[in-house]
Amino acid sequence: MARCDTCGNHYDKTFTVTRGEERGTFDSFECAAQAMAPDCAHCGCRILGHGVEAEGSIFCCAHCARAVGEHELVDRA
């Protein structure tokens, strides 16, 4: 049995997630998201959707991007 990199659980149905050069073994999508989902550059929450990007930073929403001075991004057109 493999071991989850996030919680340490030994589980017979683990899976591997690869993002770029980063790779991890997990027992649930919750553990995978906790370990590998990017953090919002403003509020720090995990970005589980697409998020928005500006000048090399990723944000959970346009509101957080505006809070750090990025005024081009909007949540709706």
CA–CA separation, 28 and 20 (whole Å): 20
Q: 2-54, pLDDT tens digit by residue?
A: 999 999 999 999 999 999 999 999 999 999 999 999 999 999 999 999 999 99
Q: Does pTM surpass 0.75?
A: yes
Q: For residues 19, 56, 53 and 49, what is the CA-based torsion angle, rounded to 10 degrees?
A: 20
Query: Which run of H or E residues covers position 31?
Result: helix 29-36
Q: What pLDDT is stored for residue 76 in this prediction? A: 80
Instruction: Give the three-class secondary structure for 66.
Output: helix
